[in-house]
Structure 1
């Protein structure tokens, strides 16, 4: 009968390592040299094989062992790899597994083979709890993923302990400890979780350390933690994310301690490391047919030392025919304008465009309130005022309700997550202005890591305008437009739609889809992308049809910089390309979406 016992604490990560002593390593190297001299073979590995493995595929072990095809033969390293395979089997319930290495002559090099004897896999027989006085065992055991009858794995065991600890941490027990132990008897494993609950604590003091320019009051207001409330780990995790979202801190962490061990109250200290809150940016690019792009930006994230932010941006885009586009904008944001999590923002915007001596000018401002409902979910109500002068004169005064969900792991270069933004808008009517319409629109972006650094990125966008009252047809400056570097690469900017105004086409209904496969960055700097874009802008009479749906495809390269990837894309239309169409190039900053 096999009998083993082990205990662990969920406090530290333990790193397993194996190092052969000098005598073993020297003997292994001498043996390898003798074999090479005997057979006259190359001293490198031709292939790595695994024999006897039934529970796990060879691909699993190829990711575990260090030896690879083409490596120099090293017996010491092969011994280490055999030990890693045995450790893997042990952690997955194969207590009697054994691994032997072997070297055989191949055609010109050596074939390394690991011979595996798996044995019988142990299963969990009993899961028990002790020390739980506040919560009953039945409730706690329903939470843990490990159950009687399951194959034993150390990962599942560790996860179960963490689940129990998080459960207590989110119910006012900041000093809880979970100690796990297991006992093997032949092929059965009995598990016991010993819980040291500690006191249930409320927050009596909040402290801040490390801030130099951002006031402690602003930090605590952003954290939204109140004195007297029950300690919950999730609340502090959310506070940490809000502090990072301000873009004022390079690091933000929190620590819990008891000022008086006889009192069931705690103090929590936020430690922060500030980062530069004034940013100046310069950008440039081009697209074909030849048009240049220039941009300047400036942002201050801590105006008046109270967390207000102000950002300005200028874009200038000329071509070689004398036409140009210029836009000026600024965004001012006041966090916690009304109560908690209600922010005020306003953005004035100015736009000038000249095409074939025809000038169009726009002036507008968008002002509204937004509230964070959850760390990744917010809702906003905004007023949009827009005045268009010159050839297409008109005033739009609209009220828009939007919601935003964002779980992306990185805003500039996401590899995982979901972004959703539906919008409902009404213009005119009691809001006055020259245009009466309703609008429904939405955008979704999905990012999924495929492993080995590859990322699949997808985007879908759709919208529709509904005119009413005085408006029979949506004017061009309020219609949907499609085509160009950020929507349908391979097509001219704003070149799709049933209606036209000058060189631009537009319509009341839009559908846009994008699919990209992004490669890993070589040396952390250079990556590539292949993409398929699609889209259509139609009138309400015709609707969307597959026959008229526009497609384009292409590829590009990405160069990673401190401010995000710089991209060079080439796209070519696939449906009804014009004669001599060789596609279009686009150079710019950040991904298309």
Structure 2
């Protein structure tokens, strides 16, 4: 029997002109050595079939193809007569992957990451891939400051050509930044400069921010922040000379040294405008924030260029170029700027493309667009469109791009990209407030019903003071021009006995409402409802409560009609820094019911950015209520003040007139017909959190009071307080805290210096 063999890939590939065997016709093909791999898989990779001619060239191709699969550690081609024999040695399969000492990372997430690079159970084992995975895992630990990490990988052979992989990890402690030194800084205190750094030495909040752990990316960002700090204060020639990062021998402490050259401070000598201005020079000078005589500021210069570019963008010039050319006088330490304006060609929008919406209907997004296809490009309308889509709250991310249309110089497309988020919730939860105590809540809601943009919810909550169940539905686009329609059904129980108010009410009702947009950020609303309220009094209830029940009975029906106006210019719902909101509302119980009253309210709230860190909030509220047709306003429709949402430091609903029994003033609060509340608050982020907007602190001053109809409103009656507050937008809902010191409390006032509200009440 004549038997020949090609003993490997190298011999096959290096054969040149000399055949390892003579070409022959293959009558059969056998595969030897396979354990897990199907023979058919091997046949599929062979470039020769039964009945075809086998040559040394095809033998080389066969070996190369089988090696390329990654399934085999060795491949041989043998010839026995007219039979082609393929002998393979399979690579072992990974039977299991274990981690010992793993704490920093989630085990399942780590396995998922290893799978992406080829290391997973049932996969073919490859030593080179394992080494790569080990290095990547170590790099991940180093990125978290664990420089003393030690990783030992053990590969254990198992039966049936399998292996077990074990990662033994000694994580060690994360290295902390021990010291940050700035060399060459003279114009500013080192502490002031280090405040612009995200990297910090350990402090009380480091466990949360991790800013005491070194990161190359964070250091690069900090150096750019330092550069901006100097350039915004006139140091035009500022430069970072060198940066050194060293670690202690025990790999626990990191030392960072930054050497800087401050240079001289420059003043602005002149600012000129040149180029095709389109509008008058005065119009553009309104956008220039840097003036002659000012200290040079790169930030103000960039904002000036951007403001001019935005102004041109609002006119349709999407490709405008605005560049500032400096003329530096080093002797006088002055710099002059010429801002060159090139508006380019006016552009119009060819197409608006919406991507990322899989369940939300296109029209739900497009109806919020204020930039139209085929119209002149308007940068303000494009951004307004993005804001309106974002405010629908159906998406976790909304971004917009305006790329030029290829082959044209006067057309752009508007690409609006959204990332949908879950808008339906089924919730069971608990909350706590200093007024309501324990609050249990549950509900089901869908803010984007079937992708239509409609809202529906069923909510239930129960607290010591309020027990409510409500059903709501809103169609924000009942008509194509933005008129909204909604209805509400509710059942509410009010039990203020815990606040020493001797009565209870149980209300059931519903209503229909409509909203009408009258401007881009203004709307009016109208509504009509029906309410049936049952009042329960006690023998020791205040006389006015008893008189009300005697006059109108324990159960009465009212037909409230409402009209309201809202103007909302806030830049954010969660973390506002500028703009404000105004609300005016009127509720009238119209004839036809047993009660005749009206309530008028007004609120004006404004936010003023004082700096990138501090925001001043001012809020004023006023209200007036009375009856008509010979009736008085129902006592449960009167105004109250005091508590975490009005005048902090005083107990909830404790400010205002008190009942008089037999000439003696009791502790019973009766509410009032007139109400004034004023709040001022300096808001700022929690130090150490950087750009995190989930937590916000405040220093506040509150004032407020309520008066009876016959009382004269006097500033001296206002109760005032001051203190600090905190708001945390937690995963469980908003949490509000305040510590207040009443400034002019009087005998009989109920004080409550620490107040808080956890969870969301409905």
TM-score strictly above 0.5: yes
Equivalent residue, structure 1, for 2:492: 351
Find out whether 1:380 has 2:541 as its counterpart. no
Distance 1:382 1:124, change over 3 A: farther
Q: Indicate the structure with greater strand content.
A: 1
Q: Deviations over 1:334-386 (max 9, x none)?
A: 12223433322332222124577965321233433334455544333333543
Find out whether 1:155 has 2:314 as its counterpart. no
Counting only pairs closer than 5 Å after superposition, residues 171-182 of structure 1 correspond to structure 2 as 171-182=315-326
One of 361, 376, 384 as aligned partner of 1:230: 376
Find out whether 1:314 has 2:483 as its counterpart. no
Equivalent residue, structure 2, for 1:561: 730
Find out whether 1:463 has 2:628 as its counterpart. no
Counting only pairs closer than 5 Å after superposition, residues 2-81 of structure 1 correspond to structure 2 as 53=187
Equivalent residue, structure 2, for 1:19: none
- Structure 1 residue 301 displacement after superposition: 1.5
Query: In structure 2, what is the Cα distance between the partners aligned to 1:292 and 1:396?
Result: 33
- Structure 1 residue 98 displacement after superposition: 10
- Structure 1 residue 494 displacement after superposition: 3.6
Query: In structure 2, what is the Cα distance between the partners aligned to 1:58 and 1:193?
Result: 35
Counting only pairs closer than 5 Å after superposition, residues 141-290 of structure 1 correspond to structure 2 as 141=285, 143-146=287-290, 152-185=296-329, 187=332, 189-259=335-405, 261-262=407-408, 264-286=410-432
Find out whether 1:420 has 2:581 as its counterpart. yes
Equivalent residue, structure 1, for 2:746: 576
- Structure 1 residue 505 displacement after superposition: 2.0
Bigger shift: residues 533-542 or 580-589: 580-589
Query: In structure 2, what is the Cα distance between the partners aligned to 1:425 and 1:192?
Result: 55
Q: Is the CA contact (8 Å cut-off) linking 1:277 and 1:300 kept in structure 2?
A: yes
Query: In structure 1, what is the Cα distance between the partners aligned to 2:622 and 2:715?
Result: 15
- Structure 1 residue 238 displacement after superposition: 0.7
Q: Normalising by the residue count of structure 2, what TM-score does the alignment of the two structures yield? A: 0.57
- Structure 1 residue 221 displacement after superposition: 1.1
- Structure 1 residue 308 displacement after superposition: 0.7
Equivalent residue, structure 2, for 1:321: none
Where does structure 1 lack aligned partners over 5 or more consecutive residues?
Answer: 1-42, 72-80, 102-111, 319-323
Find out whether 1:301 has 2:447 as its counterpart. yes
Equivalent residue, structure 1, for 2:674: 509
Equivalent residue, structure 2, for 1:75: none
Q: Is the CA contact (8 Å cut-off) linking 2:461 and 2:469 kept in structure 1?
A: yes
Q: How many residues align?
A: 521
SS of equivalent to 1:347: strand
Where does structure 2 lack aligned partners over 5 or more consecutive residues?
Answer: 1-177, 204-221, 243-256, 536-553, 661-666
Query: In structure 2, what is the Cα distance between the partners aligned to 1:183 and 1:516?
Result: 44
Equivalent residue, structure 2, for 1:74: none
Distance 1:377 1:283, change over 3 A: farther
- Structure 1 residue 239 displacement after superposition: 0.7
Q: Normalising by the residue count of structure 1, what TM-score does the alignment of the two structures yield? A: 0.71
Distance 1:478 1:199, change over 3 A: same
Q: Is the CA contact (8 Å cut-off) linking 2:607 and 2:616 kept in structure 1?
A: yes
SS of equivalent to 1:239: helix
Q: Is the CA contact (8 Å cut-off) linking 1:46 and 1:69 kept in structure 2?
A: no
One of 616, 635, 639 as aligned partner of 1:480: 639
Query: In structure 2, what is the Cα distance between the partners aligned to 1:141 and 1:453?
Result: 28
SS of equivalent to 2:451: coil
- Structure 1 residue 547 displacement after superposition: 4.7
Equivalent residue, structure 2, for 1:440: 600
Q: Is the CA contact (8 Å cut-off) linking 1:418 and 1:444 kept in structure 2?
A: no
Distance 1:587 1:198, change over 3 A: closer
Q: Is the CA contact (8 Å cut-off) linking 1:491 and 1:572 kept in structure 2?
A: no
Distance 1:330 1:49, change over 3 A: farther
One of 553, 564, 577 as aligned partner of 1:401: 564
Q: Deviations over 1:172-220 (max 9, x none)?
A: 1222223333333554645444444333222232221111000112211
Distance 1:500 1:476, change over 3 A: farther
- Structure 1 residue 273 displacement after superposition: 1.0
Which protein has greater RCO, CA pairs closer than 8 Å, 6+ apart? 1
